[in-house]
Structure 1
Amino acid sequence: MTELYFLFAGIIITLLFIAFFAGIEIAFVNANRLTVELKKKQGKKSGIILSRLMEHPSRFIGICLVGFNIALVVYGLLVSELFKGFFHIQNPYGKLFLDTSISWLLVVIAGEFLPKAFFRARSDNMISFFAPLASFFYNRFLPLLQVFVSFSESILKYLFNVRIKEGEDQFSMVDVEYFLQQSKEQDESNPDVNKELLQNALLLPNIKIRQCLVPRTEIEAVEISNSIADIHKKFEETKLSKILIYEGNIDNILGYVHQLDLFKKPESIRSVLLPISVVPESMNATDLINKFTRERKSIAWVIDEFGGTAGIITMEDVLEEIFGEIKDEYDTEEFVEKQLAENEYIFSGRLELDYLTETYNLEFPENESETLSGYIINEHETIPKPKERIIIDRYEFDILNVSDTRIEMVKIKVLK
């Protein structure tokens, strides 16, 4: 009877080890590396341990494999010994089938599916909690693993001419996105924590240049044959620091002139002409930033699929995709306010409700919003689509222009 208890205890212990190695492997694979590095910077023991283990992830996976298989072999021997006293089947094949079925079902459910599902659902918490135990087995099994790895690499190298090169693992986009989502959930109650910039930065690789360029109709440019006085005048009118130079038409841009070069008192525009990079409108914003950094430039000529000028783009245009609109001392904000008929108006969405009430005698109920755009969005409970018609109280709103975050232009009709 004592031997039976020992067998039961041994089986339970080996099942726990099987569950641990199977679960810790899944937790390690799904753990967020950025979170681990932050814990390390904070001096937390689990972060220090896990950071060391993540320096060689393949080794840790191998350690889990070694531990799992050792526990599995011991489990099989103990189960076989236990079943000798329970099942008295004369047919050896029938006994093998019954022993295998029961032991397999037990190890798959208790040692594989349930632990993996649990560890995967709580990967960061579980990997942090079991970090000391994982480090213990790592240190004990590492010499054995190195023997197996060396043997395997020798076979790959000398028999199959395959060389294993373990590169440095970097943070993936998934790591950062998961960390951002996790931080949002934890810091939702803290209004001072603004993670919009990081989220915008994550979306930057998905943004094409065509989405943020200055279109060709808004390009400020000067013909190469013009005089220095002409470009002086252009700089004064536009308040820009760079003016594009073209020959013949805007589809043939030669370069640009920087306003600082005019202090050199050049004789002609060509003498201070600087080369401009050419990029396709399908390039993404991240590649453009890398190109600007590499070439030490901050402006590029954007061409369309036919080789014509689609527009121009600057580093400031790209950065505005992360930080929002960047204004300098020469930027002016113009709001549209036009009365079409006695009870019809066109307004910019950013006009304040108080201003509309004073100027046009339009009455709006008390609302948390300060602008017309905010009032419509709050009442409509979502950002409307262009050309959508909305009726709120005694006003009919025709949405003319909408951005991702607000209503830019709206037509209002006062209903009688």
Structure 2
Amino acid sequence: MLVLAIFLVFLNGFFVLSEFAIVKVRKSRLEELVKQGKSGASLALKMSNSLDTYLSATQLGITFSSLALGWIGEPALAKLIEPPFTYFFGDNSVLLHTVSFIIAFTLITFLHVVLGEIVPKSVAIAKAEIMSLYIARPLHIFWIVFYPFIRFFDIVAGFVVRRLGIQPATAHELAHSEEEIRIIVNESFKGGYIDSVESEIIKNAIDFSETVAKEIMTPRKDMICINSEKSFEENLERIISTRFTRYPYCHGGKDNITGMIHTRDLLNDALDGKKIDISKFVRPIIMVPENTSISKILTRMNKSRIHIALVIDEYGGTSGLLTMDDILEEIIGETTDEHDPKQETIKKIDENTYEFDGMVNIEKVEEILNITFDETELSVTIGGRIFHLIGRLPIVGDIVEDKECTYKILELQNNRIKKILCTKKIEEDANEETRV
């Protein structure tokens, strides 16, 4: 009987190990092991795909072995302990049985908790992949033998839960929300499994579909166009001075853009010494509303093989320009080539003070300073927000504040706010401002 009790402890441990192993193991990793032909991988993957019913099997096994251990183990161990204690308690059988039972119960509980619960759980969590392969076949056999009982218990449990007004959840529904993914990424970064670049790319990818054209476009004011009303030499001078690959092509003003020019087309004819008529090289340009998701624009760019889009406002006028590079930078971060001037868009001065380029996105400022602007905020960039706070044409040295920060204008470019010094208000300052 004592041997049977020890067997039941380890049987309980097997089911506990099985439960944690099949929950912890990654399905993607099992799929790789199946391709490699690892023994037990195919069955382990089947369990992972039918997690609910196999978890019910482990619960049945744990319950069965625990009840059997209490029924068999304690009396068996108590009977083994009684003889040595007769020396102390003599013929007092009641006291002898009581002490023997308490000691047997304590030892069985200790073995059950340590060897039957904690150790197998720790092993399963640490070695989920290997353990899931080892337990696959015996657990599957147990599931086949007791399937009628497992199915019956599942049906009854589901019925009770539904009577309580709760829709039963399936254990295999392991989808994560965006916030949960961010937490997982942060924990993976802290644990050293991914580096800072990978962490940033994943976070950017999560936000990708929520970003719209207006938030990342080059605004109309900063657009550089090839103008049909100017001579080839004037347009060429503009191309040489700005060094972009693609330019919007307009007739007179920026509200009359009919296409785009690729400088490679002009270069081919220029090298051949031909007289160049720029209008012959006009290519189609994509036109999108301001609030179009950049994920949809990227798909459209790939299908049409046109890597530049004109952003249109609600009145049908030109709002800005968007390129494929702008979109990709939302995922991989800002990129530069050998022709781009070196610019620092964000510069940390101290823990609460940063120097921002006026074109830095509002959400980026919120993330860096760990603040949240008013939900009614309509500005896309930090420069736009400060412009609205001032309420007039800004001048260098202007200082303005809101409940979160104090802002000082450091540089202007044609009335546009180019550089800002932003100082986050510490909690004491905010409280003092509230008291005043």
TM-score band by shorter chain is: 0.5 to 0.7
Separation of aligned partners in 1, 2:189 and 2:50: 30
The equivalent residue for 2:138 is 137
The equivalent residue for 2:428 is none
Paired positions, count: 305
The equivalent residue for 1:363 is none
- Out of 251, 254, 257, the residue aligned to residue 261 of structure 2 is 257
The equivalent residue for 2:309 is 300
Aligned 1:7-406 pairs, distance under 5 A: 8-9=5-6, 12-28=9-25, 31=26, 36=29, 53-54=44-45, 57-59=48-50, 61-73=52-64, 125-128=126-129, 130-137=131-138, 140=141, 178=184, 181-186=187-192, 195-204=195-204, 205-207=206-208, 208=211, 209-224=213-228, 226=230, 228-247=232-251, 249-262=253-266, 263-264=268-269, 268-333=277-342, 373=347, 376-377=349-350, 381-384=351-354, 399-400=408-409
Q: 1:63 to 1:181 in 2, by over 3 A?
A: same
Per the alignment, in what secondary structure is the counterpart of residue 257 of structure 1? strand
Q: 1:143 to 1:84 in 2, by over 3 A?
A: closer
- Percent identity over the alignment? 18
Q: Is the 1:21–1:68 contact (alpha carbons within 8 Å) kept by the matching residues of 2?
A: no
Q: CA deviation at 1:279?
A: 3.1
Q: 1:184 to 1:304 in 2, by over 3 A?
A: farther
Q: 1:38 to 1:325 in 2, by over 3 A?
A: farther
Q: CA deviation at 1:183?
A: 4.8
Per the alignment, in what secondary structure is the counterpart of residue 335 of structure 2? coil
Q: 1:214 to 1:67 in 2, by over 3 A?
A: same
Q: CA deviation at 1:278?
A: 2.5
Separation of aligned partners in 2, 1:179 and 1:37: 22
Q: CA deviation at 1:65?
A: 3.0
Q: Deviations over 1:142-170 (max 9, x none)?
A: 87799999xxxxxxxxxxxxxxxxxxx99
Residue type of the alignment partner of 1:131: S
Separation of aligned partners in 2, 1:84 and 1:55: 40
Q: Deviations over 1:255-287 (max 9, x none)?
A: 201112223458644432211122344344444
Separation of aligned partners in 1, 2:42 and 2:231: 63
Q: CA deviation at 1:185?
A: 2.3
Q: CA deviation at 1:135?
A: 3.1
- Compute the TM-score of the two structures, normalised by the length of structure 2: 0.51
Separation of aligned partners in 2, 1:275 and 1:18: 65
- Structure 2: 5+ residue runs without aligned partners? 79-108, 151-173, 357-398, 412-417, 423-436
Q: Is the 2:311–2:322 contact (alpha carbons within 8 Å) kept by the matching residues of 1?
A: yes
Separation of aligned partners in 2, 1:14 and 1:7: 10
Q: CA deviation at 1:234?
A: 3.2
Q: CA deviation at 1:219?
A: 0.6
Separation of aligned partners in 2, 1:122 and 1:66: 20
Separation of aligned partners in 2, 1:249 and 1:52: 67
Separation of aligned partners in 2, 1:247 and 1:224: 5
- Compute the TM-score of the two structures, normalised by the length of structure 1: 0.53
- Structure 1: 5+ residue runs without aligned partners? 87-105, 150-168, 188-193, 335-347, 351-372, 390-396, 412-416
Q: Deviations over 1:297-353 (max 9, x none)?
A: 32222234554333112222233345544333433347xxxxxxxxxxxxx999xxx
Q: Is the 1:221–1:244 contact (alpha carbons within 8 Å) kept by the matching residues of 2?
A: yes
Q: Deviations over 1:2-58 (max 9, x none)?
A: 4xx467546544543443344334424xx5x67x489979x9x8xx97698347732
Residue type of the alignment partner of 1:134: I
Q: Is the 1:349–1:410 contact (alpha carbons within 8 Å) kept by the matching residues of 2?
A: no
Separation of aligned partners in 1, 2:256 and 2:148: 66
